[in-house]
């Protein structure tokens, strides 16, 4: 065997090795991005569930829950009142209309059965609702307060992922961490949209 054949075989094996490492590097990046997307999807679903619970809590209590224990207690034991609103419009003699609104309380349904029923969330576990998926057991951060907007006091809340798995969301002290609500605006939207 001459030197050129030996070198050809060595270069061929090196090219195969480099090709494998290049493919493996790309494959690892793709798998990591898919894993991050899957975990962030689970986080978003939990944030949406927590937002629904916060909105029900605020409708019942006039403010948002500022900690998980208060919200959890409300989900377990709270009730949502079913109210029927009836409007009747009467035409007056001089052509104007008069509208009368009446409210009738029909009953109530428990919060857990209304918001987190088996049909909507078949694997719902209240004890794990505030745990951030993929975090190793860390809990969401809760914030609730009243702020002044245009000389009115409004309730605000924010529920946020304390340690994002996505490196892009960790920049500037977790500035872009997944969250729902706002500390400074009367918003109940999430920042993933």
- As for how many domains the chain has, the answer is 1
Q: What mean pLDDT do residues 27-54 have?
A: 88
Residue at 152 is within a domain: yes
Q: What is the pLDDT of residues 41-63, one digit of tens each?
A: 999 999 999 999 999 999 888 89
- How much is the pLDDT for 188? 86
Residue at 48 is within a domain: yes
Residue at 55 is within a domain: yes
The whole domain housing 159 covers: 35-77+118-181
Residue at 1 is within a domain: no
Q: What mean pLDDT do residues 59-71 have?
A: 90
Does pLDDT of 97 surpass 80?
A: yes
Q: Round the average pLDDT of the chain to a whole number and report it.
A: 87
Residue at 106 is within a domain: no
Residue at 191 is within a domain: no
- How much is the pLDDT for 65? 92
Residue at 125 is within a domain: yes
Residue at 87 is within a domain: no
CA 69, CA 64: separation in Å to the nearest integer? 12
């Amino acid at each position: 065997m001459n030197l050129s054949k030996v070198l050809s075989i060595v270069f061929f094996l090196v090219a195969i090795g480099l090709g494998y490492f290049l493919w493996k590097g790309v494959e690892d990046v793709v798998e990591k991005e898919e894993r991050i997307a899957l975990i962030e999807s689970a986080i978003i679903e939990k944030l949406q569930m927590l937002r629904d619970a916060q909105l029900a809590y605020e409708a019942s209590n006039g403010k948002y829950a500022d900690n998980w224990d208060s919200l959890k207690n409300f989900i377990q034991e709270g009730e949502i009142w079913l109210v029927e609103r009836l409007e009747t419009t009467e035409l007056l003699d001089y052509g104007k209309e008069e509208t009368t609104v009446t409210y009738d309380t029909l009953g109530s349904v428990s919060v857990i059965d209304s918001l987190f029923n088996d049909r909507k969330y078949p694997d719902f576990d209240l004890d794990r609702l505030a745990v951030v998926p993929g975090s190793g057991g860390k809990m969401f951060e809760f914030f609730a307060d009243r702020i002044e907007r245009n000389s009115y006091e409004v309730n605000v809340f924010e529920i946020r992922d304390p340690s994002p798995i996505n490196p892009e969301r960790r920049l500037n002290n977790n500035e872009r961490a997944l969250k729902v609500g706002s500390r400074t605006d009367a918003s109940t939207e999430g920042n993933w949209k």
